[in-house]
Amino acid sequence: MQNITLSSNHLKLLFVSTPVGGLGTGLGGGVELSLYNIAKYFLEQGHTLQIVAPEGSLWDKAKFNIVEIPGNLQIIAQSQERDTPVTMPENSLLANMWEYTRSCQHEYDLIVNFAYDWLPFYLTPFFQTPIAHFVSMGSLSNALDLAIAQVSKSYPGTIGFYTPSQGATFTNLTPPLYYLSSGIDLSLYEFCAQPKEQLACLGRISPEKGLEDALAVAAQTNIPLKIMGKMQDEAYWQKIINDYPKAPVEYLGFLSTDKMQQVVRECKALLMTPKWVEAFGNVAIEALACGVPVISYARGGPAEIIQDGKTGFLVEPDSVAGLVDAVTLLDSIDRYECRKQAEIEFSLSANGARFLQWFEDILR
């Protein structure tokens, strides 16, 4: 085992990205935002970093020292059943990314995996350089669950999640497990003390987001609802719009962070109605950063973020009546408390420090 001396705590890190799309295309969803913010922190702290990413990534290649790998994208895990066999396309991008990683592993102190895929977990024992695995969703696949459990047993302390509730969806894991939460660049979000009479929804337009319940709130309260996010499931959208023809709803599309926060900051609250165990819910901390309280079902990541009654309200899952009651209580929330929570818990430096601690624990 090479004897690593953390002189001046300088780390040489190799981040291996998700194989479902190039960085900056939005296909990588929340894990793209996480990778961006963690990379920014480690670069600002003076560590050495390289990012292995799919060809066609849009980030600044020089700034992030990105090496682009060709190959066919991996199928997104959410589209598979729990018992679907692991599949590898010909000329697999995932395999090519990990072949590159194997070939240069000795130049780094630590490899960090951001892919939610079986292969990197299976390959871990074949590597000499330690690998930290950041798991970006709840349990979706039996084969991957087993591979994660095996790595946690053979290499304790190398599995990280966003939240405990996300981690709890997996079984047979060996502690210690790490919960990193998340972080955003707060300078991109502007506090607003006096909102308009409107509510917001943020995130991919897809069934697991439960948008029909937000439409029901708009219909019952007649408060205008602004919806923003990638149109992922058009049929689902058409169905829920037809189910609530009278709801005062406006779909604004997928906006840049700046355009999105200009709308969200003027809202009385962000509504989150997840039907699945949301691993985290970056949209919740984006709203808090603008001083916007979050009303969410008490399910998954949002339940670990929102301070009930102080920075928003946690509602009995799937209870539209509970959401409507919470909307009537919004005036009791001090919007500056929302911004303050974001500054304390979810800044780039707070998030980066959590990852640095994790990495140093692994390397000790």
Instruction: Name the residues that contact ligand HBI, by CB under 6 A.
Output: 18-20, 28-31, 74, 76-78, 115-117, 136-137
Q: Would you state the torsion angle of the CA atoms of residues 225, 228, 229, 233, taken in this order, to the nearest 10 degrees?
A: 40
Taking the least distance from each CB to ligand HBI, the nearer of 20 and 289 is: 20
- Least separation in angstroms between residue 169's CB and ligand HBI is 13
Residue with tokens 């439960």: 210
Q: Which is nearer to ligand HBI, 136 or 198 (CB)?
A: 136
Q: What order of strands is seen across the sheet that includes strand 178-179?
A: 66-69, 48-54, 12-16, 110-113, 131-134, 159-161, 178-179
CB of 359 to ligand HBI, least distance (A): 20
Q: How far is Cα of residue 321 from the mean position of the Cα atoms in its chain? A: 28
Q: Which of residues 109 and 278 has its CB atom nearest to ligand HBI in the complex?
A: 278
Beta bridge partners of 53: 68
> Coil, helix or strand for 62?
coil
C-beta of 194: minimal distance to ligand HBI in Å?
34
Q: How far is the CB of 17 from ligand HBI (least distance, A)?
A: 8
Strands in the chain per DSSP E: 12-16, 48-54, 66-69, 110-113, 131-134, 159-161, 178-179, 199-202, 225-228, 249-251, 269-272, 294-297, 312-315
Of 31 and 356, the one with the shorter C-beta distance to ligand HBI is 31
Q: What's the min distance (Å) between Cβ of 93 and ligand HBI? A: 10
Q: Taking the complex as a whole, how short is the minimal distance between the CB of residue 75 and ligand HBI, in angstroms? A: 6
Q: Name the minimum Å distance from CB 20 to ligand HBI.
A: 5
- 299 membership: H or E segment, kind and range: none
CA dist., res. 101 & res. 14, Å (int): 8
Closer to ligand HBI by CB, 148 or 219: give it. Answer: 148
Give the nearest residue (CB) to ligand HBI: 29
Q: Which is nearer to ligand HBI, 29 or 203 (CB)?
A: 29
Strand order in the sheet with 312-315: 249-251, 225-228, 199-202, 269-272, 294-297, 312-315
Is 159 strand, coil or helix? strand
Residue 130 or 203: which CB sits closer to ligand HBI? 203
DSSP 329: T
